[in-house]
Structure 1
Amino acid sequence: MIRTITLDTIDHGPVTFEEPPWCIGHHWQRDIGRNDITHRSVRVKAAVDTESHGLLPVLNGWVSWAPFAELVPRVAVEVDVQGDFEAEDITQVVQGLQLAGARLEKLAAEAIRLRGELS
């Protein structure tokens, strides 16, 4: 079910638009222009558990679509692995990166599926 919502923008005043069911809402957007209005899906995450650094986030990703600035949904990606690791930790780091890659592939497939719904 598609909802219609209205956001106040700094350049166009109140803007009413349809919010797709996969969007988490717009509570995180403040003082924005119309072209900055962005739909976001839930975050997809991956982490790695290492002996030397403990649990480290490796990936944050989500479907993102700014309907007034972009033609189709895209995939937002934050990948971060930094540090000097013990050699024994590298297997876990690699596994975390492989998990991140698999989750990104699923996220990309979802973005492509959502594009089909716009046609």
Structure 2
Amino acid sequence: MTEPRIVTLDTIDHGPVTFDCPAWCIGHGWQMGAGIGRNDITHNSVRVKAGVETESHDWLPLLNARVSWAPFVELVPVVTVELDVQGDFPAEDIGRLITGLDTVQRRLAKVAGEAIRLRGEIT
């Protein structure tokens, strides 16, 4: 197991907050200088995506998901999920959408399994 990195972020409610950043976290550059509170500090994993090409859309995004953990608010990592599909589709595209949704199901199950595994590193 990789040793966690030590990160310090300036917060608006607690000043500089120093914490361990787990190896799976992509970093906190997106939170630096953002005027965040301590409870806003969040570890995020890489994003998992799924989508499908249809005849009526070149690329149709269906899913963005990642492991996320706000250590000052949440006891364990959670799975952040964004599902995004809406529209009118020719009947011929429905089979491709179903295939894309099957991919969504497999990827969500994988991310959820990873979040559960990571709980063992925290507790």
When normalised by structure 1's length, the TM-score is 0.98
Match in the other structure for 2:62: 58
- 2:39 aligns with one of 28, 35, 42: 35
Match in the other structure for 2:98: 94
Matched, 1:106 2:119: no
Would you say how many aligned residue pairs link Structure 1 and Structure 2? 119
Distance 1:97 1:79 in 2: 10
Distance 1:96 1:37 in 2: 33
Match in the other structure for 1:47: 51
Matched, 1:3 2:2: no
String of CA shifts for 1:12-56, please: whole Å, max 9, x gaps.
Answer: 110000000000011112211000000000000001100011111
Q: Which runs of 5+ in 1 are unaligned?
A: none
Match in the other structure for 2:16: 14
Alpha-carbon offset, residue 118 of structure 1: 1.1
Question: What one-letter code is carried by the residue in structure 2 that aligns with 1:60?
Answer: N
Match in the other structure for 1:69: 73
Distance 2:12 2:95 in 1: 49
Question: What one-letter code is carried by the residue in structure 2 that aligns with 1:4?
Answer: I
Question: What one-letter code is carried by the residue in structure 1 that aligns with 2:46?
Answer: V
Distance 2:28 2:98 in 1: 35
String of CA shifts for 1:42-75, please: whole Å, max 9, x gaps.
Answer: 0000011000111111000000000000000000
Distance 1:105 1:42 in 2: 15
Distance 1:21 1:100 in 2: 25
Q: CA RMSD in A?
A: 0.6
Identity %: 68
Question: What one-letter code is carried by the residue in structure 2 that aligns with 1:43?
Answer: R
Question: What one-letter code is carried by the residue in structure 1 that aligns with 2:75?
Answer: L
Name the structure with the higher strand share. Answer: 1
